[in-house]
């Protein structure tokens, strides 16, 4: 099934690009037919490997989608930057210019990986009767998507990036058309997300990070592929086109996070008001659990902020932070910085309590949460609070790359510290063996999900796109 999924995905990608010259720039192919044949053969081989990789993972389309995207990034590094140039030229293509030249291949492999994952999930359903999501589930997904898209539209409009989207529809008011397009995309994305995850059982923090990866998927498929094709401009995969479209990337990532979080909240509200299952009463109430999580998050945020401080001093950013309270003092900036670090740490405690089961998961959630806050904080909220518009351009992201490193360091310290603080607490009503058995079960469920793939995907996005597109 993996080989068949990969072959179909390779064929579809070849139809998009019409030639593998875009995906494999070093190849010398004589015709589009030979390119398509090569695409199918390579796609089948890579698909077979993908089937082996995810054979023990959860079978949902949402899970295999993110594994497929991470698989595509992996083959961009191993294939287009390493094996292909080694065979063709006898050397690796590990320099910046070579990576930029093969950037369309990265987008193509992301499309290929997404299609392979979705097709494999579809083929796994063969011979079974899948349970369709209820109308209420789909409605909650559509509502969450529309609300998230409305917020995204406001942010894009503030930077004059909304109206050009509506210009693709001729003989229509561009602003009206843009709002119709953005809300339609939001509703469609929400419907698909609710079909992927009809009964979300993990935490809100997991939903935020998964939503960020989902937003990145829609940026690749929508902003870089479908919208340019529908407007008659061809694929928007070139480095120049992606740079021009980069201002929508932070918006799509935030849109995905908001969609997933709103959907999670709506699902919990329905369970609270309509479910008759009150669960097993615990000796420790939810209020105490929340307070403990907030306290641990505050301590973890303080330590993570200490790591971030080294970057702040190196780039001289503390006076800018002090500008949030109308000052330019380095000392005031340091105080404000630590207050923000503690508040973000408290939010991490609320969102990610009981989600880290070992150092790997703690590091994964911390790093990805730091990346989300780089977009939400450094590129969005801080410019707004300083009286500007969100700084979502490729050049602004490149200039803010040192802050990204600081956010990743902060996230790593935050996640690891919170894990160590939370791991010390064992509910007194559970024996040590019971507590360990419950932790092992939850840890296994997390590993079988797409969480590891999402960690890798988002970290690769964080470390790759600002450098390739901002130079």
Task: Give the pLDDT means over successive 10-residue stretches in the chain (471 positions).
Answer: 85 70 46 72 89 82 90 91 85 82 88 91 73 85 94 82 64 77 90 89 87 94 84 79 86 94 88 54 60 90 90 84 86 91 94 86 93 92 87 87 91 93 64 61 75 91 81 56
Please give the Cα distance from 336 to 325 (Å, whole number): 8
What pLDDT is attached to residue 43? 85
Please give the Cα distance from 123 to 128 (Å, whole number): 10
Structure tokens at 248: 């929508």
Enter the DSSP assignment of 324.
G
Structure tokens at 106: 């990265």
Rounded (10°) CA dihedral 458, 399, 409, 444: 0
- Judge whether 145 and 259 are in contact, CB under 8 Å: yes
SS (H, E, C) 16-55: HHCCCCCCCCCCCCCCHHHHHHHHHHHHHHHHHHHHHHCC
**With a threshold of 0.85, does the pTM exceed it?**
yes
CA angle 209, 215, 221 (to 5 degrees): 145
The CA-atom distances, in angstroms, between 382 and each of 258, 387, 390, 400 are: 19, 9, 8, 12
Q: How far is CA 43 from the centre of its chain?
A: 24
The CA-atom distances, in angstroms, between 31 and each of 13, 35, 80, 87, 101 are: 16, 6, 20, 21, 22
Please give the Cα distance from 355 to 16 (Å, whole number): 39
What pLDDT is attached to residue 428? 42
What pLDDT is attached to residue 448? 75
- Judge whether 33 and 93 are in contact, CB under 8 Å: no
- Judge whether 361 and 354 are in contact, CB under 8 Å: no
Closest CA to 405 of 462, 347, 322, 470: 462
What pLDDT is attached to residue 33? 66
What pLDDT is attached to residue 65? 92
What pLDDT is attached to residue 31? 56
Maximal CA-CA distance, the chain: 72
Q: Residue 447: count other Cβ atoms within 10 Å of its Cβ.
A: 15
């Amino acid at each position: 099934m993996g080989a068949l999924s990969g072959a179909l995905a390779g064929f579809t990608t070849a139809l998009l690009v019409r030639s593998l010259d875009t995906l494999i720039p070093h190849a010398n192919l004589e015709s589009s037919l030979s390119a398509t044949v090569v695409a199918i053969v390579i796609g089948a081989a890579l698909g077979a490997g993908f089937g082996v990789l995810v054979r023990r993972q959860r079978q949902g389309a949402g899970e295999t989608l993110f594994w497929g995207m991470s698989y595509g990034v992996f083959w961009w590094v191993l294939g287009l930057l390493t094996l292909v140039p080694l065979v063709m030229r006898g050397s690796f293509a590990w320099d910046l210019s070579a990576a930029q030249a093969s950037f369309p291949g990265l987008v193509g492999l992301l499309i290929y990986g997404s299609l392979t994952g979705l097709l494999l999930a579809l083929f796994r359903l063969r011979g079974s009767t899948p349970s369709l999501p209820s109308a209420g589930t789909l409605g909650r997904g559509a509502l969450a998507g529309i609300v998230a898209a409305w917020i995204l539209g406001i942010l894009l409009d503030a930077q004059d990036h909304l109206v050009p989207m509506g210009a693709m529809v001729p003989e229509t008011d561009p602003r009206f058309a843009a709002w119709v397009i953005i809300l339609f995309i939001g509703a469609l994305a929400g419907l698909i997300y609710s079909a992927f995850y009809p009964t979300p059982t993990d935490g809100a923090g997991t939903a935020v990070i998964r939503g960020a990866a989902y937003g990145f998927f829609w940026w690749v498929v929508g902003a870089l592929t479908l919208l340019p094709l529908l407007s008659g401009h061809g694929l928007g995969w070139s480095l120049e086109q992606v740079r021009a479209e980069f201002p929508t990337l932070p918006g799509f990532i935030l849109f995905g996070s908001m969609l997933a979080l709103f959907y999670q909240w709506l699902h919990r509200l329905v369970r609270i008001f309509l479910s008759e299952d009150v669960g097993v009463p615990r000796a420790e109430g939810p209020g105490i659990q929340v307070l403990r999580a907030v306290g641990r998050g505050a301590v973890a945020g303080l330590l993570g902020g200490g790591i971030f401080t080294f970057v702040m001093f190196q780039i001289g950013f503390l006076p800018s932070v002090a500008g949030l309270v109308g000052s330019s003092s380095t000392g005031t900036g340091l105080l404000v910085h630590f207050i923000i670090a503690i508040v973000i740490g408290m939010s991490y405690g609320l969102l990610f309590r009981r989600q880290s089961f070992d150092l790997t998961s703690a590091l994964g959630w911390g790093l990805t949460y730091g990346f989300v806050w780089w977009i939400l904080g450094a590129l969005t909220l801080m410019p707004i609070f300083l009286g500007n518009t969100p700084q979502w351009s490729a050049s602004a992201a490149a200039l803010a790359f040192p802050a990204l490193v600081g956010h990743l360091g902060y996230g790593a310290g935050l996640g690891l510290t919170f894990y160590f603080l939370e791991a010390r607490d064992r509910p007194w009503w559970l024996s040590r063996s019971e507590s360990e058995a419950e932790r092992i079960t939850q840890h296994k469920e997390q590993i079988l999900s797409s969480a590891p793939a999402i960690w890798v995907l988002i970290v690769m996005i964080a470390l790759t796109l600002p450098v390739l597109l901002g130079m």
